[in-house]
A and B are shown apart, each in its own frame.
Chain A
Amino acid sequence: MQTARNDPQKTRHISGIFVFLLIGIYAVFSLLLVLVGVRAYRGVVDATETDNQLRTTISYIANKVRAADGMVSLRDIEGLSVLVLGEPREDADADYETFIYFFQPPSGEQGGVYELSLLASDPFEPDMGELIAGTVRLDLSHEGKLLLLKLTLQNGETQQMRLNSRVTEGLGGV
């Protein structure tokens, strides 16, 4: 008799546990799906940002060099490797120069590729430049008339590209 009374109770308990187990499995798999989605989204965003930094920086510098049309030189100024692009202007009293360089401010601010436009007679001060691309390290060198850009991203990836500077003579020593 006791067994007959306990059996329905036992069955009811097992049914309840099974229902909760089922709901728990549903919740766990929902959570896993959300986590996978977050990981995929983060990966896509990171890859897109990396590609944008790379392409934007290279395209910007390449267009600047091509627009300079041969008035390109590499100089070593205060320990920095600086790409100098000449901009002679007929409507101005003096010529301008555009400096593109990698700079890490001593104040601890974000380092990156900077650009600075100055009169040819003004002194070069690297901390007055405008940040073009942060979290990107730019190394400049030359192979004859070819300007070599080497970019190092924050994730350690490096990419290099050569640009034909169209100078009549060498680019100048670094």
Chain B
Amino acid sequence: MTQITAHEGNKSNVLLTELVIVILFFALTAVTAMQMFVGAHQKSRSNALVNRAMIIAQDWAERLNGQLRPEDFLTQAGFAQPDEADAGYCLPEDAEGNEVRAVVLRERFDAGELVTVKISVLNNRRQFGEVDEAEQVSPSAPFAALSSASYFPDAPPPDSHPQPPESGQAQSDEHIDGSVMDHAA
């Protein structure tokens, strides 16, 4: 009787040990799966932020396209003037944490002036709330960046026969090119 009880006890111990090992492996798998789920969710949120940033950058690029004095337009639109020469104009964060920066570059050519505005949209927010200052994305790594360039030819001399500008082209030969840089936190 005692031997039968001991035998049943051993079987029970083996079963329990096997269960514990199974649960251990399940726990390891669950941790890996949860990491993947969280990563996928964060990536999805990051992509959404990048898309919104790209739309904001395009919006400003279209508004700046063809502006003879983009500096005045940016100032009137609420951009803060830069402290340094190459820092760019800065629009404070909106409700979603998007900060817009614009750098105006002018290049003089023989026949006119090329005005390029480089627009960057930054967002330092993580998907689950604000980040610590130490973890902020570097200002040199924006979510989305575009440039809007307009070429303004010089006016012809008064004694020449001026040609009327083509419809839709006016005084600018414009192009917008851009890239999206994903620097998800």
A contacts, CB < 8 Å to B: 8, 12, 15, 18-19, 22-23, 25-26, 29-30, 33, 36-37, 40-41, 43-44, 47-48, 50-51, 54-55, 58, 62, 69-70, 146, 159-164, 166-168
Contacts and interface: CB of A to CB of B under 8 A. Distances in A.
Contacts of A47: 44-45, 47-48
Nearest to B15: A19
A44 B40 contact: yes
Given A26-B23, A166-B168, A40 B37 contact: yes
B170 A26 contact: no
Nearest to B16: A19
Chain B contact residues (Cβ within 8 angstroms of A): what range?
A: 35 or more
Contacts of A55: 51, 54-55
Interface string B92-136: 000000000000000000000000000000000000000000000
Contacts of A40: 37-38, 40-41
Interface stretch (B61-69, B81-89, B139-147, B155-163): B61-69
B80 interface: no
Given A22-B23, A26-B22, A161-B58, A167 B44 contact: no
B45 A54 contact: no
Given A54-B55, A58-B55, A162-B63, A37 B44 contact: no
A161 B59 contact: yes
A146 B30 contact: no
A167 B168 contact: yes
Among A48, A58, A62, A164, which residue has the most Cβ atoms of chain B within 10 A?
A: A164
Could you tell me the dominant secondary structure of chain B's interface residues?
helix
A3 to B, nearest CB: 15
B8 to A, nearest CB: 7
A23 B168 contact: no
A41 B39 CA distance: 11
Given A12-B12, A23-B19, A70-B168, 7 more contacts: A44-B40, A47-B44, A47-B48, A48-B47, A51-B47, A146-B62, A159-B52
A29 B30 CA distance: 9
A83 to B, nearest CB: 15
A161 to B, nearest CB: 5
A168 B168 contact: yes
A125 to B, nearest CB: 29
Interface in B13-62: 15-16, 19-20, 22-23, 26, 30, 33-34, 37-38, 40-41, 43-45, 47-48, 51-52, 54-55, 58-59, 62
A18 B37 CA distance: 32
Among A33, A62, A69, A167, which residue has the most Cβ atoms of chain B within 10 A?
A: A33
Contacts of B47: 47-48, 51
Contacts of A37: 33, 37
5 contacts: A26-B19, A41-B40, A43-B44, A44-B41, A44-B44
